[in-house]
Structure 1
Amino acid sequence: MNTQVVVTADGSHSILNTDIGQHYHSIYGAIQESERVFIELGLTYAFTLFEGPIRVFEMGFGTGLNALMTTREAMRLHHPIDYVAVEAYPIDPTAGKSLNYDGQLTTFWLDDLHDAPWGIQTPITPYFTLTKYRTPIQALPNVGPFHVIYYDAFAPEGQPELWTTEIFEQMASMLRPGGILTTYCSKSAVQRNLRDAGFLVEKHTGPARKREVIRAIRL
Structure 2
Amino acid sequence: MTTQLVLTRDGSHTLHNEALHVYYHSINGALQESLHIFINLGLKEAIRQRRETNSEAPIYLFEMGFGTGLNASLTWLEAERNLLPVHYVTIDAFPIAPEQALLLNYDGLLNTQQLSQLHHAPWGKTTELSPYFRLEKHHIPLQDFETSHQFDVIYYDAFAPRAQPELWTEGIFQKLAGLLKVGGNLTTYCSKSYVQNNLKSAGLVIEKHPGPKYKREVIRAVK
Q: Please state which band the TM-score falls in when normalised by the shorter chain.
A: over 0.9
- What is residue 197 of structure 2 aligned with on the other side? 192
Would you say the 8 A contact 1:109–1:124 is kept in 2?
no
- 1:62 and 1:126 map into 2 onto residues whose CA distance is 24
Cα displacement string for residues 103-154 of structure 1 (whole angstroms, at most 9, x for unaligned residues): 0111111100000000110011111000000000010112420100000000
Per-residue deviation at 1:100? 0.4
Partner Cα separation in structure 1 for residue 148 and residue 5 of structure 2:
32
Q: Offset of 1:98 from its aligned partner?
A: 1.5
Q: 1:173 and 2:147 equivalent? A: no
Q: Distance in 2 between matches of 1:194 and 1:45?
A: 19
1:212 aligned residue (213, 217, 220):
217
Matched, 1:72 2:77: yes
User: Where do residues 132-147 of structure 1 align in structure 2 (5 Å cutoff)?
Assistant: 132-147=137-152
- Which residue identity does 2:221 align to in structure 1? A
Q: Secondary structure at the match of 2:155?
A: strand
- Alignment pair present for 1:156 and 2:161: yes
Equivalent in the alignment of 1:55: 60
- TM-score, length of structure 1 as denominator length: 0.98
Please tell me whether residue 38 in structure 1 is matched to residue 38 in structure 2.
yes
Alpha-carbon distance in 2 for matches of 1:79, 1:142: 22
CA RMSD of aligned residues (A): 0.7
Alpha carbons of structure 1 residues 64 and 143: separation in structure 2 relative to 1, 3 Å? farther
SS in 2 for 1:149: strand
Q: Could you tell me which residue of structure 1 aligns to residue 110 of structure 2? A: 105
Q: What's 2:14 paired with?
A: 14
Residue 57 of structure 1 contacts residue 84 of structure 1 at CA under 8 Å; is this kept in 2?
yes
Between the aligned partners of 1:73 and 1:140, the Cα distance in structure 2 is 26
Say if 1:148 and 1:175, in contact at 8 Å, map to a contact too.
yes
Gaps spanning 5+ residues in structure 2: where?
A: none
Q: SS state of the match for residue 69, structure 1?
A: helix
In 2: Cα distance, 1:69 partner to 1:114 partner: 14
User: In percent, how many aligned pairs have the same letter?
Assistant: 55
TM-score, normalised to structure 2's length?
0.96
Cα deviation, 1:161-208, whole Å, max 9, x if unaligned, reads 000000000100111111100000000010000000010000000001
Q: CA deviation at 1:60?
A: 0.3
Query: How far apart are the structure 2 equivalents of 1:16 and 1:117?
Result: 24
Which runs of 4 or more aligned residues in structure 1 lie more than 2 Å from their structure 2 counterparts after TM superposition?
Answer: none
When structure 1 is superposed on structure 2, of 35-44 and 46-55 the one drifting more is 46-55
